[in-house]
Amino acid sequence: MPGTRVFKSATIIAGLNAKTVKGDKASEYATAIMYLAPAKMAGGANLCAMAREAGCDPTHDNGGCLVNSGQAQVFSSINRARIAKTQRYLADRAAFMAELVRDIERFMKWCDKHGVKPAVRLNGTSDIQWEVAHPCIRFGGYYESLFLAFPTVQFYDYTKVYKRVYRQLPSNYQLVLSYSGANQRYADAVTKAAQDTGSNMAVVYRTKELRDYFVDKLVQYGETCRDVIDGDQTDLRFLDPQRVIVGLYAKGRAAKADTSGFVVR
């Protein structure tokens, strides 16, 4: 994907995340991400069910939540926009889903124009279970999920809701478990889920140097013992080899300063 192209809509954007742009340039994909207000930042329902246990709830302990990384940690207007978008989702889910369907269709046309394949991350800063209770309508047809409505789009997300990987997910939706040592019960459950299902597991290291030290080494966390790969080369997790640990390094002031166990020392 030569050059830097930007797609913007009311719900998803592409071309503004440094990591996805880096990976997109080296592949045939373009990635659009939806950024919502995590946990209970927008009030109402909790959009990150396991955030408290995993030590990354920005409304509780500030943790290593991605909402505190990148431009969002500098520009409060970015987080205000995410809160407004989240409140639209919470107030009228059907209307929000219709808006999201329209924006994904626009993104597909944009990708076609630029000669790339569309990939979408719905949970850029949230952990919504999109595979359940999120039906939508496209071309007059009713679909149980966006994944079924858009079979030619590759969807992927990181998740701390480990029960999700035990489900029979659509073939075009890839989930990567997110490890945290902040809570032993959570750590045991997520490593067991990775072992039981074969799902890849992301681990955030304190520094790039520490992450690099573990890359290409066999490392064990709880019940999961696997090779570590460099997860910062690209964000296209659906292209990763199977049964690996995706090594990332902490970004943003909150993540770098995290002492909860979410970030591995």
Q: What is the pTM of this model?
A: 0.91
- Residue 255 confidence class, pLDDT cut points 50, 70, 90: confident
Tell me which H or E stretch contains 210: helix 208-214
- Residue 22 confidence class, pLDDT cut points 50, 70, 90: low
Residue 178 contacts residue 54 (beta carbons within 8 Å): yes
- Can you read off the two tokens belonging to residue 111? 């990708």
Closest CA to 243 of 200, 191, 197, 189: 200
Task: Output the CA–CA distances (angstroms, integers) from residue 197 to 141, 161, 191, 244, in the order listed.
Answer: 32, 14, 10, 12
Q: Please check the confidence at residue 20 and state whether its pLDDT lies above 90.
A: no
The pLDDT assigned to 2 comes to 44
The pLDDT assigned to 51 comes to 86
Q: Please check the confidence at residue 26 and state whether its pLDDT lies above 70.
A: no
Gyration radius of the chain over CA positions: 18
Locate the domains of the chain by residue range.
Answer: 7-257
The answer to whether the Cα torsion of 84, 104, 234, 48 is positive or negative is positive
Phi, psi of 119 (to 5 degrees): -130, 145
Q: Whose structure tokens read 């408290």? A: 52
Q: Please check the confidence at residue 100 and state whether its pLDDT lies above 90.
A: yes
Instruction: List, for residues 155-207, the tens digit of each pLDDT value.
Output: 999 999 999 999 999 999 999 999 999 999 999 999 999 999 999 999 999 99
The pLDDT assigned to 72 comes to 47
Q: Kindly give the pairing relationship between strand 245-249 and strand 224-230.
A: parallel
Instruction: List, for residues 209-245, the tens digit of each pLDDT value.
Output: 999 999 999 999 999 999 999 999 999 999 999 999 9
